[in-house]
Amino acid sequence: MRGATEIAGGWLIGVLVELAGEPAPLLHYFAVGHADQAKSEWTAVDYAGRAGRVATSPVGGQEPVQAIRPLTPAKMKTLGLASGEVRELGWRHPRRWLSN
């Protein structure tokens, strides 16, 4: 992992959510302003539950909850994510949050 020496200020998390009318769960993205990865994952699951039912098992080899990438404090500041804040990024791939 390239960010081994970087300090995480938050995390980009993906959660598989089952929605009525959809044949398979969809990946919903969240930016979470907690440095602790596990806390970020659980916080994202709590928020994802508002959109639908969180998948309970892997789908097509994809885990229901995934820490996609750590967010540095500098990246959080650039994109306006405060410490402790949760931002729902939606269903589309969050390119802005993944760029360097």
Which of 25, 28, 24 shows the shortest CA–CA distance to 14? 28
- pLDDT at position 1 is 44
- The structure tokens listed for 24 are 């398979």
- pLDDT at position 55 is 94
> Domain coordinates of the chain in residue numbers?
10-98
- The structure tokens listed for 33 are 């302003």
9, 33 in Cβ contact below 8 A?
A: yes
What per-residue string of b and e applies to 8-46 under the rule 16 or more CB within 10 Å gives b?
bbbbbbbbbbbeeeeeebbbbbbbbbbbeeeebbebbbe
- pLDDT at position 38 is 96
- pLDDT at position 6 is 62
Distances in whole angstroms, Cα of residue 37 to Cα of each of 19, 21, 22, 65, 71: 26, 32, 29, 11, 10
- pLDDT at position 87 is 96
Residue 61 DSSP SS3: coil
Tens-level pLDDT at each residue, the chain (100 residues): 444 446 789 999 999 999 988 899 999 999 999 999 999 999 999 999 999 999 999 998 999 999 999 999 999 999 999 999 999 999 999 988 888 6
